[in-house]
Amino acid sequence: MSNPSTESLSELSAAVKGSWHRFLDQYEPLRPELYRYCRYLTRSPWDAEDLAQDTMARAFATLGRMVEGPPNPRAWLFRVASNLWIDQTRRQRERLGVDVEPATSHEPRATREAAGTLLVRLSPQERAAVVLKDVFELSLEEIAEALGTTAGTVKSALHRGRNKLVEPEPETLASQAAPAALDAFCAAFNAHDLERLTTLLLDTMTIDVVGATTEYGIESARARILPGMLFGSTVMANPDPQGPCGFDRSFFRGVRPTLPRGELRIYRGEPLLLSWYEHDDGEAVRAITRVELEGDRVAHIRNYFYSPDFVADVCRELGIPFRSNGYRYWK
């Protein structure tokens, strides 16, 4: 059997991309609620963003195999997210051979999350049922649809789960300093020195703009994503509506062309790079970057520029101003 031609693969890619864009037109308005649901399940901002991204991708693929679309898209997205998270939790428990909460569950306590911190004591099904009922106020029938079960089973899960909601002892996280390699990364970012920044990268590194694009290797990072991270404010300040990215001007009103400032912050025990952008009314964070190291080199960069729920979640907890860039780079 001959391999598909480059032309046919390009046509397939364009067709899939068009279908994905149409899917987002319909389902993207549900993203804030989806993220909030994932946040209660995972109890971690980055795990919630990952689960929300995986849910959208799984929903898109599943929709292509369905005879008819779901009558209740909101409950259906919750069902996809629940199934992914429950499967993930089960795999982790089977791998470790013990009944444990994912490692990301240990986080500083916050008054606004007091109810959420209790959910760690519930099984995956109990936690999902309690969140859908008490936070999202779904009916027993809607919860049953979201979890793929019966109303009677949901009622039992709610009863068991609520009996377990006893306030646990507060937990604390030991603070840690950012590794020297991250200090070097931040210094190169603030110098807007693309060449110095790329010398800190592994040849096999991966760089993601979460939910938008992924590149592999130093050359791809240098050619595409890193310039956007360093110099994108000049485009944001004067977006070309006919340009390749089709920036929506409504998200970038008041942005100044001043190049962004990076700041390392320790958040929930992990160093994050905050990208501060100047606006007519002051500075605000528009992007957050997680950097994974192998030794003294950068192995993986995750840039949360088109992840407004994640950025808002982290910045509210840190008590700092932020702005949204929306969920995508095209209109």
Going from N- to C-terminal start, the domains of the chain cover 12-163, 180-318
Which CATH class, in words, describes the domain spanning 12-163? Answer: mainly alpha
Per the model's pLDDT, the better-predicted residue between 144 and 102 turns out to be 144
- The domain 180-318 is placed in CATH, from the list 3.30.1330.10, 3.30.230.10, 3.10.450.50, 3.40.309.10, at 3.10.450.50
Tell me which range, 152-156, 219-223, 235-239, is most confidently predicted by mean pLDDT.
219-223
278 pLDDT exceeds 80? yes
**pLDDT value for 166:** 55
Tell me which range, 96-100, 137-141, 255-259, is most confidently predicted by mean pLDDT.
255-259
Instruction: Report the chain's mean pLDDT, rounded to a whole number.
Output: 84
**pLDDT value for 129:** 86
**pLDDT value for 120:** 59
Residue 290: pLDDT band (50, 70, 90) is very high
Task: Give the Cα separation of 96 and 330 in Å (integer).
Answer: 42
Per residue in 120-133, pLDDT (tens digit) is 567 788 888 888 88
108 pLDDT exceeds 70? no
**pLDDT value for 126:** 83
For the entire predicted model, the pTM comes to 0.80
pLDDT exceeding 90 applies to what percent of the chain? 50
**pLDDT value for 265:** 94
DSSP letter string, 24-84: HHHHGGGHHHHHHHHHHHH-SHHHHHHHHHHHHHHHHHHHTT-SS--S-HHHHHHHHHHHH
3-state helix, strand, coil in the chain (%, to 5): 55, 15, 30
